[in-house]
């Protein structure tokens, strides 16, 4: 009996990490050998429709596969997951970096229909809740400490993450004088901009599915040079998480083909605010000087 419990626990622990160590589709395919008739129906449906199934409720999947909802729940447990939501999460992680823009449009249409306005807002509200829930406050504080103690801070973000990198650079540069945005992120230029990175520096990389190979390469290069690597990404399955010394996670599940940057931007806002709080005296002096400059050169419209 004790061995059975141990085996069961081991099975569940393996399943929690199977999206890293084993492709969930392989797990499903292997289950076909010993599966019951109803479980075989679910497996066959998932193997053919795993992209759309990753966003289905247990009830919806049961209807599509022609089995009961309780059978779907038992099926997930039989595979080694703690429940259907864990199996669904494994499917989502599998496809996150594989969906083309066309496939994302198809998934979005099936998931939300034509009511994209409400669905988009609700998805981002859920992203913010999930991000808050999974944030390790000690990790967050450690990253603030790293930024404040760095000799130089390099910020890397390409494609849709370019806007996040620019925003982080804009505000950190108002607080600190050792921040560099890596502008040229194509070809070999990214390595040329990181040429002088060294131990004592921090390289802050930002990327979300579909992960940018250039950003991954940049962090790999920085790590080889002895710099501290910090990442902002979506999950532990991200290639950035494997390279980083410290990681911040932000949920970016989307209701459309457009990358959702709401939660990542909220995390960056929190990071800037935390750095600013620790440098409040310097910020007051900098902004007092900036106000004089803005006034002298009429930067802002004073008529409204």
Q: Is residue 51 part of a domain?
A: yes
Q: Which residues of the chain have pLDDT under 70?
A: 1-22, 95-115, 184-187, 255-257, 304
CB 225 within 8 A of CB 199: yes
CB atoms within 10 A of CB 66: 11
Spell out the residues 6+ positions from residue 114 whose beta carbon is closer than 8 angstroms to its own. none
207 and 278 co-located in one domain:
yes
Q: Is residue 90 part of a domain?
A: yes
Q: Is residue 125 part of a domain?
A: no
259 and 147 co-located in one domain:
yes
What tokens were used for 254? 């989307």
Which of 96, 114, 143 corresponds to the end of one domain?
96
Q: What's the CATH code of the domain at 231?
A: 3.40.50.10490
Domain total for the chain? Answer: 2
Q: What's the CATH code of the domain at 83?
A: 1.10.10.10
DSSP state of 181: E
pLDDT of residue 178: 96
138 and 217 co-located in one domain:
yes
Helix and strand numbers, DSSP H then E, in the chain: 16, 5
CB 200 within 8 A of CB 239: no
CA geometry: angle 70, 74, 75, nearest 5 deg: 115
Q: What is the pLDDT of residues 69-123, one digit of tens each?
A: 999 999 999 999 999 999 988 887 776 656 655 565 555 555 555 667 888 888 8
Residue numbers of the domain that contains 268: 131-296
**CA–CA gap between residue 174 and residue 170 (Å, rounded):** 7
137 and 87 co-located in one domain:
no
pLDDT of residue 289: 85
Q: Is residue 105 part of a domain?
A: no
88 and 177 co-located in one domain:
no
pLDDT of residue 186: 60
180 and 255 co-located in one domain:
yes
Q: Is residue 301 part of a domain?
A: no
Residue (of 230, 234, 203, 275) closest to 96 by Cα position: 234
In angstroms, the Cα distances linking 24 to 19, 27, 211, 225 are 6, 5, 20, 35
pLDDT of residue 246: 98
Q: Is residue 117 part of a domain?
A: no
**CA–CA gap between residue 223 and residue 201 (Å, rounded):** 10
What tokens were used for 124? 């981002």
pLDDT of residue 264: 97
CA geometry: angle 293, 271, 149, nearest 5 deg: 85
In angstroms, the Cα distances linking 116 to 55, 74, 271 are 15, 33, 30
216 and 79 co-located in one domain:
no
Q: Is residue 115 part of a domain?
A: no
15 and 78 co-located in one domain:
yes
CB 161 within 8 A of CB 212: yes
Spell out the residues 6+ positions from residue 146 whose beta carbon is closer than 8 angstroms to its own. 202, 228, 230, 246
51 and 155 co-located in one domain:
no
pLDDT of residue 100: 59
241 and 159 co-located in one domain:
yes
Q: How far is CA 109 from the centre of its chain?
A: 22
pLDDT of residue 185: 58
Which of 96, 123, 143 corresponds to the end of one domain?
96
CB 51 within 8 A of CB 107: yes
Q: Is residue 304 part of a domain?
A: no
Spell out the residues 6+ positions from residue 99 whose beta carbon is closer than 8 angstroms to its own. 51, 107, 209, 210
DSSP for 121-174 reads HHHHHHHHHHHHHH--HHHHHHHHHHHHH-S-EEEEE-GGGHHHHHHHHHHHHH
pLDDT of residue 91: 86
219 and 91 co-located in one domain:
no
262 and 151 co-located in one domain:
yes
């Amino acid at each position: 009996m004790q061995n059975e419990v141990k085996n069961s626990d081991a099975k569940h622990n393996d399943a929690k990490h199977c999206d890293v160590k084993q492709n969930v589709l392989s797990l499903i395919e292997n289950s076909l050998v010993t599966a019951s008739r109803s479980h075989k129906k679910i497996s066959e449906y998932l193997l053919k429709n795993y992209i759309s199934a990753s966003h289905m409720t247990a009830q919806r999947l049961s209807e599509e596969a022609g089995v009961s909802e309780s059978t779907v729940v038992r099926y997930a447990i039989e595979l080694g997951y703690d429940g259907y939501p864990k199996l669904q999460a494994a499917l989502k992680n599998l496809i996150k970096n594989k969906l083309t823009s066309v496939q994302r449009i198809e998934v979005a249409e099936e998931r939300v229909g034509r009511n994209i306005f409400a669905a988009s807002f609700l998805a981002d509200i859920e992203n913010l809740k999930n991000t808050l829930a999974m944030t390790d406050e000690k990790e967050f504080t450690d990253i603030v400490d790293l930024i404040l103690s760095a000799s130089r801070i390099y910020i890397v973000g390409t494609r849709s993450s370019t806007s996040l990198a620019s925003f982080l650079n804009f505000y950190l540069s108002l607080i600190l004088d050792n921040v560099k945005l890596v502008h040229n992120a194509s070809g070999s230029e990214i390595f040329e901009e990181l040429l002088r990175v060294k131990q004592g520096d921090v390289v802050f990389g930002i990327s979300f599915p579909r992960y940018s190979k250039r950003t991954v390469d940049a962090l790999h290069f920085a790590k080889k040079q002895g710099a501290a690597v910090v990442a902002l990404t979506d999950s532990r399955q991200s290639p950035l998480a494997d390279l980083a010394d410290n990681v911040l996670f932000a949920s970016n599940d989307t209701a459309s083909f457009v990358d959702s940057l709401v939660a990542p931007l909220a995390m960056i806002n929190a990071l800037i605010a935390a750095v600013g709080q620790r440098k409040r005296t310097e910020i007051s002096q900098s902004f007092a000087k900036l106000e004089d400059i803005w006034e002298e050169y009429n930067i802002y419209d004073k008529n409204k």
